[in-house]
Amino acid sequence: MDYIQYHKHNRIAFITLDRPEKRNALNHAFVSELKKAFAMANDDDDVKAVILRGHGEAFCAGADLAYLQDLQRFSYEENLADSNHLKELFLQIYTLKKVVIAQVEGDAIAGGSGLATCCDFVFSVPHAKFGYTEVKIGFIPAIVMVFLLRKIGAARSKELLLTGNLITAEAALAVGLINRILPAAEIEHEVILFATRLIESNSANSMMMTKQMIADVQSMNLEEALAHACEMNARARNSADCKTGIDAFLKKEKIKW
């Protein structure tokens, strides 16, 4: 692949944005490669977690400038197809069967913040900046908005989306956009350690079902959500992981998933 690196180690898939000379800026082909990489991780039974990171000074600077120039010549139908292309990537990350952790070691701007927003966990270095700057160039943060509202709520989303301002990692932590701030010298080790703990201490099937429910129940009314919860509860009880886990718990045996 031209824009990313993909490898796996100890049941973790590492997807590295690898266009440092362009600050890992996105274009159509870049998005296509990311979709392919996440599909590989999703379909690989040996992969239990995914770490998304960027090579170079930036995590991801949003859309490539040449790509933005091309979009000006697109018809409505072409822009709709391209928008769906990005939507599919964000939805793929948000609903992936595996836990996805963003390791942000530089600025995550516009589409870059979008990538981070869709991940399950976000770990950042102190100097990284975050922001949805689309309104500053006459564009709108339409697709990521759907995921950001779910993550931090309407009031905080409005402040970020309508101002287009960049915020510090500390501010991003305060509003719930990221989970932890780590020194640059420690972030890689700490993210791998966090992923390893999830892999070894939690059932992959249970995490997958929990993640699926989080995505599903937010659009349901109370009765629908509870009915769905009962169905998922019953499915989980019949799973091999649940039977193994309960058996080990009753026998006071430690499970290493």
Q: What are phi and psi of 187, to 5 degrees?
A: -60, -45
Residue among 134, 188, 224, 253 flagged as catalytic:
134
* Residue 48 neighbours by CB under 8 Å, 6+ apart: 11, 12, 98, 99, 198, 199, 204, 257
Q: DSSP alpha helices (H): ranges in the chain?
A: 28-43, 65-71, 76-95, 111-118, 142-152, 154-163, 169-175, 187-201, 204-217, 222-237, 240-250
β-strand partners of 226: none
Task: Give the C-alpha separation, 169 to 182, whole Å.
Answer: 10
The one-letter amino acid code at 118 reads C
* 105 has catalytic annotation: no
Gyration radius of the chain over CA positions? 19
Q: List the structure tokens of 164.
A: 């287009």
- Dihedral (Cα; 126, 127, 130, 136), 10-degree rounding: 160
3-state secondary structure of 121: strand
Q: List the structure tokens of 165.
A: 């301002």
- Stated as kind and residue range, the H or E segment containing 131 is strand 129-131
Catalytic amino acids?
134
